[in-house]
């Protein structure tokens, strides 16, 4: 499971669809509707949110907005939170975003080299943009991140 902290605009088609699917699974886990993945480290930051279900709902909405901009239709009726817009921002570190940038570029090198080539200039230099749910702060890679 990978719930990217990066802005969804960086994801290729396969990455965006996979993130949507995995985020729906995360939503089920946070709602207590599944037995698997309950201790997955990617869920730590959502569980720490004041309203975990609103947080994952806001995350899903952010993915759906990006998908719609690309001409895809993600079924937002699957978002369980009644108020995803009320979710408070979740903090993410610059180190985490930089780690995810490298991880995504490595994935794209084999999965979609053209997309990697397009993204490289946009992701070079400063810290990449975060998903709209997240607010960026200084710091290293998050403690919950597993080495890839």
Q: Determine contact, residues 144/40, Cβ cutoff 8 Å.
A: no
pLDDT tens string 105-141: 999 999 999 999 988 887 777 899 999 999 999 999 9
- Tens digit of pLDDT for each residue in 43-95? 999 999 999 999 999 999 999 999 999 999 999 999 998 788 889 999 999 99
**Which of 103, 105, 96, 107 lies closest to 129, judged by CA?**
96
In this structure, what are the phi and psi dihedrals at residue 135, rounded to the nearest 5 degrees? -115, 130
């Amino acid at each position: 499971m990978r719930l990217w902290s990066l802005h969804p605009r960086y994801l290729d088609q396969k990455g965006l669809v996979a993130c949507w699917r995995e985020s729906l699974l995360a939503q089920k886990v946070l709602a207590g509707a599944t037995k698997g993945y309950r201790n997955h480290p990617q869920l730590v930051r959502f569980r720490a949110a004041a309203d975990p279900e609103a947080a994952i709902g806001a995350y899903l909405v952010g993915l759906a907005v990006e998908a719609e901009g690309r001409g895809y239709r993600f079924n937002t009726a699957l978002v369980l939170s009644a108020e995803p817009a009320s979710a408070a921002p979740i903090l993410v570190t610059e180190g985490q975003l930089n780690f995810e940038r490298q991880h995504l570029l490595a994935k794209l090198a084999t999965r979609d080299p053209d997309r990697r080539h397009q993204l490289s200039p946009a992701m070079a230099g400063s810290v990449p943009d975060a998903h709209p749910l997240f607010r960026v702060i200084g710091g290293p890679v998050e403690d919950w991140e597993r080495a890839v």
